[in-house]
Amino acid sequence: MVQDRFPDERIAALSLQILIDRDTCMGSGNCVFWAPGTFDLGDDGISVVLDPAEGEERQMFLAQEGCPTRAISLWRDGVEVTSP
């Protein structure tokens, strides 16, 4: 079973939700650098989430922290979370 192989934190990471404030994003691409499987730049040059389940949670926090305009917010179960 998955619960036997991963601690609870890893299972909880699967439910992390990513929101991008498209009005704040300046298209720097930092998030794509830190979490390339999770983020990409759309045709309009603004960040989009490709697959929130792709990559490790640590990468998502690095992307959030590396965003120069603080356009990325991370949520779990309706509560905004920050880097541990």
Residues lying near ligand SF4 in the complex (CB under 6 A): 20, 25-31, 47, 67-69, 71-72
Find the shortest distance in angstroms from Cβ 11 to ligand SF4. 26
Amino acid at 63: A
Least distance from C-beta 12 to ligand SF4, angstroms?
23
For ligand SF4, give the closer residue by CB, 57 or 63: 63
Identify which of 57, 54, 50 has the alpha carbon closest to the alpha carbon of residue 8. Answer: 57
| Sign of the CA dihedral running 17, 67, 31, 59 | negative
Tokens, residue 22: 């498209």
What is the smallest separation between the CB atom of 3 and ligand SF4, expressed in angstroms?
33
